Amino acid sequence: MAKKDAPINSKPVQVENIKTRKLDEFVADGTGEKLTTNHGLKINDDQNSLKAGDRGATLLEDFILREKITHFDHERIPERVVHARGSGAHGIFKAYDNLSALTKAEFLSDPSLETPVFVRFSTVAGSRGSTDLARDVRGFAVKFYTQEGNFDLVGNNMPVFFIQDAIKFPDLIHAVKPEPGNEIPQAASAHDTFWDFISQLPESSHMIMWLMSDRSLPRSYRMMEGFGVHTFRFVNAAGESNFVKFHWKPLLGVHSVAWDEAQNISGKDPDFHRRDLWDAIEAGAFPEWELCVQIIPEEDEFKFDFDLLDPTKLIPEELVPVQRIGKMTLNRNPDNFFAETEQVAFHLGHVVPGIDFTNDPLLQGRLFSYTDTQLIRLGGPNFHEIPINRPVVPVHNNQRDGHMRQTINRGRTSYGPNGIAANDPQQSKASEGGFTSYNERIDARKVRARSSSFLDHFSQARLFLNSQSAAEKNHLTDALCFELGKVKMVSIRERMLGLLAHIDKGLAAAVAYSLGLHVPEIPLSTLNGSIPADADLADYTPIEKEGTLAKSEALSMQSTVKDTVSTRKIAILAADGVDGKSLSKMKDLLVSKGAIVHIIAPKLGEIISSEDQHIQTDESFLTAASVLYDAVYLPGGVNSSASLEAEADAIHFLNEAFKHCKPIAADASAIQVLEACYFFKKLPAEYSEETVLREGVIVSDNASSLSELFVRMVAMHRFWDREVPRKIPA
Ligand code: HDE
């Protein structure tokens, strides 16, 4: 008898921690159980409703049918107004050192503590069912279940934001969401309303550079950075405060895909990032990030030529070093998407003693929004009782009742002070772990205004642009040409060109050329006070202070981690008659280094090697696509090469992989397949290690050096520099 297939969501990896154990109390598993109603009644027939005779009407009496349909009718809850599309995972966090000199947060002060976490990655603009590969910011929200209560670090994969004041958030989101008349386009910023808004919002300049860069097209959630964005405070037991910026650095490095590739992935596998995260965890290749901080002493608050409270600014790592303080490992997939990933409720205001806020006006607005949005999304004030949201420490207070209350509070008192219950539950002194707000001195007038220290909107946009590699700059320029090319109203395109000219005249000219326009002399216009009313707008250029940083290496992905092939997906193209040795040697080496290798052939099932071996194929050219892989290998074998050369889909696969700058390796006897590819004519004739590592294509009859070089090439991820000189149609 055929072995029963393992259920798709079987979980080989079970990681125990205090949160997992607490969640287990709520887990239901129907395996081997009897079917019941919601009230425990065993059901005798779940196939037929109760009718007045075989062919008669359904009876209202059928409480089993009514319960089932009613529950179904109410299964959907409102999706998140932003960040609706997301993927979650469980894990743990461990601090490297004792950080108590800076913060009294216990989970950062005790390296022996293992703090459970739940992380949700997301896109921002698209609906729940939209594609993962939209050009968008990615959410990076982490819930730490600490022994002092939940701490939520609700960040993004970009360190700055579009707006300086929370009051503009609804406008920003209305502008980027699909247009109201026809709900078009889904999960895309390339439309009139978004750029209409942005073109009148100079403060968005820096974030627009990030959004148009490859950072908005991550290769994987596992290969992107995270940022707390705002400046927070660390407070130690003595009540001393330092400003802090939070960063997450992925151990696999920061990598992206090409825009053309992203658009294809959106069709071939809209769940690309979700699947990638899930599969990596199921395979035991646990994604890891280091938590890092930039610490700014209180006395340095005014040392920079930007304001620490301005969320459109980052602190270059050259000015304040990034210290690695701990590591997060995601090691368990959720049991149930809705119960965990959909119902998890993050809130910037969930802090623990030792972590506090600043007066960043964006941060302040967020402090209101998150609980407010859960009230409608999760249906009432008791969303903290949903298993995924419960802290691992006990909850005691005088809050009562409300929809779907789970807790059964004993006793007569639900108020304090009370004499009946001796004032329980009691407040905690600071020395007992009670949260106290940082004792910041405030001496101010009530105003509705913007600080003049927030008005330089262009210096850091330019810093970001200047820090990009040539290939990254090309991508950024192309992204602007694409996005503004999709804008229909010429006046909006022109206003954007005017704005871009304040960042970089060359960039504006390149985009103008593509749009068939000239860069107009349009004065910056803004209604929101983000440009001073009395400024000479046409000449408005930021002052470059002496010593201003020209470049920041950390802003480019070029120098990221490029020393591992772990979890990279490699396609081996093969057909009957393949040289089985050349195939398995390469496959074994790559797999031994943690890569995922798929054999792709003209059909599913198996192929027969030249040595008569039966080799299982993973995909056919119909089910696979080059955009779902990081690199391609062509083993030798005369018959296999002849078949692949004649297979248009195989040639397209290779050409497309080349176009997206992926490494390609071939055994010398498969050269005829490469010769049938468009790109092959474009490669330099002479071959050396140097040309190979520049072009990312290797053909060799020396199996050892071929595989050794190919591994290095895959670790390098992409060969972006060949993109422009070797541009090919594919
Ligand atoms: Fe959010 N944001 N946000 N945001 N945000 C939400 O809360 C909001 C901002 C971020 O996976 C909402 O539970 C305002 C910056 C992430 O569940 C909502 C402002 C950053 C997530 C909300 C901002 C973020 C959200 C929608 C401007 C990066 C997804 C659903 C003041 C630091 C969390 C929800 C998850 C979600 C409001 C700006 C990150 C409406 C008002 C800046 C990662 O409350």
From ligand 1's centre to the CA of 236, what distance in Å? 28
Could you tell me whether strands 288-297 and 596-601 are parallel, antiparallel, or unpaired per DSSP bridges?
Answer: unpaired
Which amino acid is present at 318? E
User: Would residue 64 count as lying in a domain?
Assistant: yes
What gap in Å lies between CA 386 and CA 319, rounded to an integer? Answer: 43
Catalytic, out of 17, 83, 242, 350: 83
∠ CA 414-416-420, rounded to 5°: 75
pLDDT at position 3, please?
A: 39
Lowest-confidence segment of 111-120, 264-273, 405-414, 692-701 by average pLDDT: 692-701
pLDDT for the residue numbered 9: 44
**From 17, 156, 333, 655, active-site residue:** 156
The pLDDT assigned to 4 comes to 43
Which atom of ligand 1 sits closest to the CA of residue 140? 43
501 lies in some domain: yes
For the chain, the straight-line distance linking the first and the last C-alpha, in angstroms and rounded, comes to: 46
Q: If you measure from the C-alpha of residue 245 to the centroid of ligand 1, how many angstroms do you get, rounded to a whole number? A: 17
pLDDT score recorded for residue 544 = 57
Indicate if 604 and 623 belong to the same structural domain.
yes
| Co-location of 161 and 244 in the same domain | yes
The pLDDT value recorded for residue 691 is 82
pLDDT of residue 14: 56
- Say whether both 572 and 530 belong to one domain: no
Residue 545 sits in the same domain as residue 570:
no
Q: Which of 346, 373, 389 is the last residue of a domain?
A: 389
Q: Is residue 17 part of a domain?
A: no
Mutate to test the pocket of ligand 1, among 77, 81, 83, 232 (most ligand atoms within 8 A of CB): 83
Please report, for residues 89, 594, 599, the alpha-carbon distance to residue 277 in angstroms, rounded to integers and kept in the order given: 8, 15, 21
Is the pLDDT assigned to residue 75 strictly greater than 60?
Answer: yes
Q: Could you tell me if the CB of 86 is within 6 A of ligand 1?
A: yes
CA of 80 to the centre of ligand 1 (A): 9
In a domain? residue 400: no
What pLDDT, on a 0 to 100 scale, did the predictor assign at position 605? Answer: 98
pLDDT beyond 80 at 696: yes
Query: pLDDT confidence of 545, banded at 50, 70, 90?
Result: low
Indicate if the pLDDT at residue 533 is higher than 80: no
Position 188 scores a pLDDT of 98
Phi (first) and psi of residue 587, to 5 degrees: -60, -45
Q: What CATH number is attached to the domain comprising 289?
A: 2.40.180.10
Q: How does pLDDT run across 353-405, given as a tens digit for each residue?
A: 999 999 999 999 999 999 999 999 999 999 999 999 999 999 999 999 999 99
pLDDT in tens, 7-24: 444 444 557 899 999 999
Chosen domain end from 541, 558, 575: 558
* pLDDT(293) > 50: yes
Query: 364 and 262: one domain?
Result: yes
Residue 243 lies in a domain: yes
**Which residue has a Cα nearest atom 30 of ligand 1?**
80
203-227 average pLDDT score: 98
In this predicted structure, what is the pLDDT of residue 535?
65
Pocket test for ligand 1, best of 77, 79, 80, 82 (most atoms within 8 A of CB): 82
pLDDT of residue 45: 97
90 and 231 belong to one structural domain? yes
Same-domain status, 251 and 317: yes
Q: Is residue 424 part of a domain?
A: no
For residues 572 and 541, state if they share a domain.
no
pLDDT tier, 540 (very low <50, low <70, confident <90, very high otherwise): low
Whether residue 286 sits in one domain with residue 372: yes
- Mean pLDDT, to the nearest integer, of 122-133? 98
Residue 169 CB less than 6 A away from ligand 1: yes
Query: Can you tell me which atom of ligand 1 is nearest the CA of 228?
Result: 32
pTM, entire model? 0.96
Both 548 and 602 in one domain: the answer is no
541 has a pLDDT exceeding 90: no
* CATH number of domain containing 689: 3.40.50.880
Tell which atom from ligand 1 comes closest to the C-alpha of 368: 41
The pick from 150, 337, 366 for probing ligand 1's pocket by mutation, whose C-beta has the most ligand atoms within 8 angstroms, reads 366
**225-273, pLDDT tens digit by residue?**
999 999 999 999 999 999 999 999 999 999 999 999 999 999 999 999 9
- Which uninterrupted H or E stretch holds 689? helix 689-695
Mean pLDDT of the chain: 94
Q: What pLDDT, on a 0 to 100 scale, did the predictor assign at position 1?
A: 35
**Is the beta carbon of 474 within 6 A of some atom in ligand 1?**
no
**Residues 157, 123 contacting (CB under 8 angstroms):** no
Q: Is the CB of 120 under 6 A from ligand 1?
A: yes
Share of the chain above pLDDT 90, in %: 91
- One domain for residues 526 and 629: no
Indicate which residue's Cα is closest to atom 1 of ligand 1: 366
Task: Report yes or no on 142 lying in a domain.
Answer: yes
Q: Which helix (H) or strand (E) holds 272?
A: helix 272-282
Q: Give 223's pLDDT tier (boundaries 50, 70, 90).
A: very high
**Could you tell me the CATH number of the domain that includes residue 526?**
1.20.1370.20
Q: Are residues 550 and 568 in the same domain?
A: no
| Cα–Cα–Cα angle for 315, 316, 320, rounded to 5 degrees | 75
CA dihedral (482, 484, 490, 494) positive or negative: negative
Ligand 1 centroid to Cα of residue 84, in Å, is 10
Residue 82 CA: nearest ligand 1 atom is 26
189 lines ligand 1 (CB under 6 A): no
Question: In terms of residue numbers, what domain contains 169?
Answer: 86-208+220-389
The domain tally of the chain equals 4
pLDDT in tens, 585-605: 999 999 999 999 999 999 999
Taking alpha carbons only, the member of 167, 190, 165, 166 closest to residue 177 is: 190
CA 246 to ligand 1 centroid distance, Å:
16
Identify whether the C-beta of residue 421 lies closer than 8 Å to the C-beta of residue 410: no
User: What is the rounded CA–CA span in Å between residue 479 and residue 434?
Assistant: 49
Single out the residue in 338, 365, 389 at which a domain terminates: 389
Closest protein CA for atom 23 of ligand 1: 366
Say if ligand 1 is within 6 A of residue 161 CB: yes
Kindly report, residue by residue over 617-647, the tens digit of the pLDDT: 999 999 999 999 999 999 999 999 999 999 9
271 Cα to the center of ligand 1, angstroms:
22
CA distance 223 to 212: 18
- Chain segment 475-503, per-residue pLDDT in tens: 999 999 999 999 999 999 999 999 999 99
- 81 pocket-lining for ligand 1 (C-beta < 6 Å): yes
CA of 19 to the centre of ligand 1 (A): 24
Q: Which residue bears the tokens 């090439």?
A: 713
The answer to whether residue 17 is catalytic is no
Quick check: is 483 in a domain?
A: yes
